Amino acid sequence: MTNTDCIFCKIIAGEIPSFKLYEDDRTYAMMDINPFHDGHCLVLTKAHCVNILDADAADLAAVLPTAQKISRAVEAALEPEGINLIQANGPAAGQTVYHYHTHIFPRRLNDGALLNWGHAPGDMGRIEDVYKKIMAALD
Ligand code: 5GP
Ligand code: ZN
């Protein structure tokens, strides 16, 4: 449930301070201390898990309503021009804290955040091959 070496577990336990926005049985929301824009927040599962791959499905299901609640408050308080929900799984995805969290990431037009990618048409044969591999791996 709790990992004693995990900074987010320590925050949830109240051992390390945070700007807590909200908590319920399964989730904990707080300000990110390295914000890209004002209003950059995080929604954590209360239970320790590394990321989406090992998270409990009921914990994940609880994250989205909390993310909506925080997003609505960010929208009302700061009027960003967009909000991304970002959630990193593994080093190449940019995960730096290995306790599940979703970023509430307010955006401004042309803010230069390196999150968006261009839409180039894919090779349908390759997409179909990859599709078949994923389908074969689905439980
Ligand atoms: P990741 O890179 O894993 O997607 O996101 C981790 C986030 O946690 C980063 O945006 C980072 O600023 C934030 N973070 C790291 N340590 C702390 C902390 O002690 N308190 C808070 N509130 N945020 C933290
Ligand atoms: Zn943890």
**CATH code at position 105:** 3.30.428.10
Give 110's contacts (C-beta < 8 A, 6+ positions apart): none
Q: Give Cα separations from 86 to 5, 43, 100, 106, 115 (angstroms).
A: 24, 10, 11, 10, 9
41: closest CA among 79, 65, 70?
Answer: 70
CA of 109 to the centre of ligand 1 (A): 24
pLDDT band at 136 (very low <50, low <70, confident <90, very high): very high
Q: Is the pTM of this model over 0.75?
A: yes
Q: Probe ligand 1: pick from 33, 41, 84, 104, max atoms within 8 Å of CB? A: 33
pLDDT for res 43: 98
Domain of 45 in residue numbering reads as 7-112
105 domain-assigned: yes
**Does the active-site annotation cover 40?**
no
CA of 104 to the centre of ligand 1 (A): 12
Query: Percent of the chain having pLDDT more than 90?
Result: 92
Q: From the alpha carbon of 86, which atom of ligand 1 is closest? A: 4
Q: Which of 48, 99, 101, 103 is catalytic?
A: 101
Residue 80 has pLDDT above 90, yes or no: yes
133 domain-assigned: no
Which helix (H) or strand (E) segment holds residue 125: the answer is helix 124-137
Q: What is the mean pLDDT of the chain?
A: 95
58 domain-assigned: yes
End-to-end CA, the chain = 25
d(CA 37, CA 30): 14
Token output for 79: 């009027």
